[in-house]
Structure 1
Amino acid sequence: MRLTPREQEVLSHVMRGRTADHIGREMGISARTVTKHLENAYRKLGATNRVTAVLLARQLGMI
């Protein structure tokens, strides 16, 4: 279970409390694409929300 660099980047922004709109503007992608990256990360990590995804990714040294 590996996160793509984009999924890792999105989770890094989420860890700092950014919204999908804010992340999208910073990364030059749509908020929908940000949401899709999050959904993929949730699936790979077995998470159901942002907080759990960030915690698991941090524990696994992914972000």
Structure 2
Amino acid sequence: MQNVTLKVAGMSCNHCVNSVEGALKTIGATGKVDLASGMVHVEFDENKLTQDAIKEAIEDQGYDVN
């Protein structure tokens, strides 16, 4: 398993947290949002997912990944 921390812009409430964490779960990753810092800590199987796929899943929810 690999871990990555991403800066995500535009998250402001619990709905945002649920959207991002739910999108990650859908693609097979585990995400934990730190709303105060705007960071998302993601654990994923690098043999099944790429960081680009993770970023795309978050961006599809309407947020910007930096």
Shorter-chain TM range is 0.3 to 0.5
TM norm structure 2: 0.36
- Between the two structures, name the one with larger relative contact order (CA 8 Å, sep ≥ 6): 2
- Report which of the two has the higher share of helix: 1
TM norm structure 1: 0.37
